[in-house]
């Protein structure tokens, strides 16, 4: 044991002897809860909340008093409720362990191994990507669990010292923001009652007398799944618009359909789910007070391709599109000239990079102004946000951000944290005539 640890233990024992109120064997932790939060590469445990049988003094706590298997604790504090907070309390029955964020991981695993190697799919005429109508290779949703130990001594409000307790596994969990979405199934009477599962975020304090924007997020082919919540936990595309910070200044509906098949392919064909999604939005507009001049679409990979296909087929339905790591047939994308766009791709994306640079280049040749920039996504967030904001001009509605290096999936690790781009999108609305 290190000298500091011996000294801390010795001080604790001396304090125990002086107070005469110490518990080494009793289990004073009554429950532990894992808090999950979604990041650019999926959902992870961000906090562990430990509940005690008596209020604990915050001043007696240190990150070194606890361990969480496989993680680093960067902050510890008390609360009177089982919630993370920035308004820390002097004491409380709940001790909140804030974990250091995990590094983002750019996965390059083929989500559709059942389709065979790329060269074989190309021979079959499948365009080298997931096959239209394929059910993919769905993975179970991540389980938010942690194993926590109290390794030091903590002091209660009454003056008692609680000794170490080891190996407490979290018995429950929460999925922040994800839990705020409601799940539904849409039956499309225009498609022989075919169904579409979806997640919907309704603004808190929703007032039917007001009009609210709606954001449509569509996931990538790697998240094709029968589990309706898969799209919510795979990355930030849906939850970023439902976050408390975004909703505080931009109250809006967020719609995240869950597709159980691949709905577009690399031959630029699409399935009936494209129209079904439009029909779902039209149905929601009849149920809720949605501003039809401020409906926005966004998606990554397959979802971004679907966004483009929608913009071509349904001009003036969406006010703006935020296109992430996607591509489309440049021969049919001329209608995008009248559709404000912000596109984000990586230099290393062999599909999206050449396709979107060609599409935007063609629009530019036809007279559409396109502003471009190349960014390093690994620079500090403040710098990245400032560089993204510098691209925006009053007379421009088409933007292209290129991340240095990277790969196909690298793009969406960062794209939905680029706040200036999101703010720019929300500033757009369709003219009154539409």
3-14 pLDDT per residue, tens:
444 445 454 444
Confidence of residue 2 (pLDDT cuts 50, 70, 90): very low
In this structure, are residues 340 and 320 in contact, taking their beta carbons and an 8 Å threshold?
yes
Rounded distance, CA 13 to CA 250, Å? 54
Percent of the chain with pLDDT strictly greater than 90: 86
Number of other residues whose CB lies within 10 A of the CB of residue 184: 15
Specify burial of residue 382 (Cβ count, 10 A radius: 0-12, 13-18, 19+): exposed
324-340 pLDDT per residue, tens:
999 999 999 999 999 99
Which pLDDT value is given to residue 112? 40
Closest Cα partner for 33 from 178, 176, 171? 171
| For residues 189-195, average pLDDT | 98
Rounded distance, CA 89 to CA 74, Å? 18
Length of the chain in terms of residues written = 434
pTM as predicted: 0.91
Q: What is the mean pLDDT of the chain?
A: 91
Which pLDDT value is given to residue 17? 43
Rounded distance, CA 279 to CA 271, Å? 14
Residue 24 has pLDDT above 60, yes or no: no
User: Which are the contacts of 331, defined by CB distance < 8 A and separation ≥ 6?
Assistant: none
Which pLDDT value is given to residue 127? 54
Number of other residues whose CB lies within 10 A of the CB of residue 164: 14
Beta strand pairing call for 66-68 and 165-169:
unpaired
132-149 pLDDT per residue, tens:
999 988 989 999 999 999
């Amino acid at each position: 044991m290190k000298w500091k640890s011996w000294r801390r233990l010795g001080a604790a024992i001396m304090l125990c002897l002086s107070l005469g109120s110490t518990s080494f064997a009793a289990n004073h932790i009554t429950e532990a809860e894992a808090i999950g939060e979604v990041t650019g590469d999926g959902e992870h445990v961000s906090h562990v909340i430990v509940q005690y049988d008596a209020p604990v003094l915050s001043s007696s706590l240190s990150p070194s008093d606890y361990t969480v298997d496989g993680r680093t604790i960067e902050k510890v504090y008390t609360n009177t409720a089982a919630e993370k907070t920035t308004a820390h309390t002097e004491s409380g029955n709940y001790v909140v362990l804030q974990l250091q964020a995990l590094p983002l991981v750019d996965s390059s695993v083929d989500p559709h191994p059942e389709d065979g190697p790329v060269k074989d799919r190309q021979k079959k005429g499948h365009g080298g990507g997931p096959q239209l109508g394929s059910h993919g290779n769905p993975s179970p949703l991540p389980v938010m669990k942690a194993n926590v130990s109290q390794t030091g001594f903590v002091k209660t409000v009454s003056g008692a010292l609680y000794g170490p307790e080891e190996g407490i596994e979290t018995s429950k969990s929460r999925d922040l923001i994800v839990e705020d979405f409601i799940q539904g199934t849409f039956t499309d009477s225009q498609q022989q009652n075919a169904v579409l599962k979806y997640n919907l975020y309704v603004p808190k304090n929703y007032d039917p007398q007001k009009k609210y924007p709606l954001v449509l997020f569509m996931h990538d082919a790697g998240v094709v799944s029968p589990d309706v919540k898969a799209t919510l936990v795979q990355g930030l595309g849906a939850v970023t618009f439902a976050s408390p910070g975004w909703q505080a200044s931009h109250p809006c509906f967020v719609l995240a359909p869950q597709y159980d098949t691949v709905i577009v392919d690399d031959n630029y064909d699409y399935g009936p789910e494209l129209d079904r999604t439009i029909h779902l939005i039209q149905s929601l507009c009849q149920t809720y007070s949605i501003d039809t001049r401020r409906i926005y679409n966004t998606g990554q990979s397959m979802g971004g391709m679907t966004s483009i296909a929608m913009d071509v087929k349904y001009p003036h339905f969406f006010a703006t599109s935020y296109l992430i790591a996607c591509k489309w047939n440049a021969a049919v994308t001329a209608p995008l000239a009248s559709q404000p766009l912000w596109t984000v791709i990586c230099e290393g994306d062999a599909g999206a990079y050449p396709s979107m640079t060609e599409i935007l280049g063609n629009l530019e040749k036809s007279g559409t102004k396109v502003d471009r920039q190349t960014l390093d996504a690994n620079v500090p967030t403040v710098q990245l946000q400032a560089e993204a904001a510098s691209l925006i001009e009053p007379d421009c509605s088409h933007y292209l951000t290129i991340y240095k290096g990277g790969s196909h999936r690298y793009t969406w690790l960062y794209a939905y944290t680029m706040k200036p781009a999101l703010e720019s999108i929300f500033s757009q609305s369709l003219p009154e005539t539409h």
